[in-house]
Structure 1
Amino acid sequence: MTIDPFWVQVNEPTLRQGDYLPGCLVPVPLFDPTTFGTKDNETQEVEVEVNELDLIVLTQSCDLDNKKVNQVVVCTINLISEFEETNPKFATKGKWNEVLTGRIEGLHLLASPTNPENNKEALVVDFREIYSLPYEYVLKHATELGFRWRLKSPYLEHFSQAFARLFMRVGLPSSIPRF
């Protein structure tokens, strides 16, 4: 079975939604939630850990093009094998099919940029791990990567829609009884 490529390779000093940015530095504050912000600790210093993560851009391309944002919204993207290392329950049979069909909120699968026919090389986008990074930093990082992968249409729109679905869910206190 031949799979249409999800990705196109680009080498330009621009950012777009769906840009795959490996090796981004992401600051993560470390603090004790039981003591942070209490009156006794109003001047508490917070340690920051810097992680190197593979990210994908979520911010709309039109906002990036028109420089309407100072921060770029990104989330993590990993190989299935890397994701399973920290989330072993996903190594069980059938779990990735649940993700593929949208039954597990917050996760989205994208075909491998280099080997789309091999689903074991697919990429997992985790919409539950979102970061906001300065526009200038993300642009500089993307430009320094040189050639990088960018989602192409209609896979970009499907990716964007999956992200939107996570946030547009509405839980009702009750509903009409099932038929």
Structure 2
Amino acid sequence: MSNNWYELVNDDSLEQGDIFKEVNVVIPTTELLNGDSDTIDVIAYDVIILTQSCDLDNSKTPWVQVTPITPLSEMQKISEVFGHKKPLESLRRGHEAKYHLINECTISGYEEEICLVDFRNVFTVPFNYIKDKASIGNNRLRLKSPYKEHLSQAYAKFFMRVGLPSDIPSFR
């Protein structure tokens, strides 16, 4: 059953793989960075926590890494690439380092379709902000093991990529 990927959490604990809806992320504008303005952009994303659970325990970090998750059907509206079987199968197999798929959830009242995790857009948000969102008391989804470790491994593979200036020639 696909809902074996998830569990419901209704406390203020935080772990890698926790999914939060409508997390406000502050995006500094170029004008702000240049000192020409005090304007910032705030964008709300549905996110999944990437920070290791051991770093979240006992408030060991002031910041939490999160990345957006988007239902696959929404991505298919943005780019037709996500509507074709070959690229989808490549995603499913983990061949696209910048993306990771998490399975649908069928827990009653918390249904979610397959979602795309986008490692190209990783944000840090204050630990206390996420902790406050967790303490509101609403149930949220959390990836269970080994799916959260699979997410972590996919992120590590994206982060550790090395581009070589020249490669070994093809064996044709």
Once the two structures are TM-superposed, the CA of residue 173 in structure 1 deviates from its matched residue by 2.2
Give the superposition deviation at 1:46. 3.9
State how far apart, in whole Å, the 2-side matches of 1:5 and 1:51 are: 31
How far has the Cα of 1:32 moved from its partner? 5.6
SS at match of 2:22: strand
CA distance in 1, matches of 2:26, 2:170: 47
C-alpha distance after superposition, 1:152-175 (max 9, x if no partner): 111111110000000111122234
Q: CA RMSD in A?
A: 2.1
Matched residue, 1:141:
133
Question: 1-side partners of 2:103 and 2:6: how far apart?
Answer: 8
In the superposition, relative to structure 1, how do residues 95 and 178 fare at CA in structure 2: closer, same or farther (>3 Å)? closer
Choose which of 146, 153, 160 in structure 2 pairs with 1:168. Answer: 160
Structure 2: gaps spanning 5 or more residues = none
Tell me which residue corresponds to 2:100.
108
Q: Aligned partners of 2:124 and 2:165: how far apart in 1?
A: 32
1:31 and 1:46 in contact (8 A); partners too:
no
SS at match of 1:121: coil
Q: CA deviation at 1:16?
A: 0.6
Code of the residue aligned with 1:77 in structure 2: it is I
Q: Distance in 2 between matches of 1:108 and 1:12?
A: 27
Tell me the equivalent position of 2:120: 128
Q: Distance in 1 between matches of 2:26 and 2:77?
A: 22
Secondary structure in 2 matching 1:172: coil
Using structure 2 for the length normalisation, give the TM-score: 0.87
Kindly state the Cα deviation for residue 94 of structure 1 after the two structures are TM-superposed: 2.5
What does residue 22 of structure 1 align with? Answer: 21
Contact 1:22 1:55 survives alignment (8 Å): yes
- Give the % identical residues: 38
TM-score of the aligned structures, taking structure 1 as reference length: 0.84
Structure 1's unaligned 5+ residue stretches are 38-42
Structure 1 stretches of at least 4 aligned residues deviating more than 6 Å after TM superposition:
none
Q: Which of 38, 47, 58 is the matching residue for 1:66?
A: 58
The structural deviation recorded for 1:93 is 3.5
Check the 8 A contact 1:31/1:47 in 2, yes or no.
no
| Counterpart residue identity of residue 87, structure 1 | S
Number of aligned residue pairs? 167
Q: Secondary structure at the match of 2:166?
A: coil
Specify the code of the residue in structure 1 equivalent to 2:4: P
* Match in the other structure for 1:77: 69
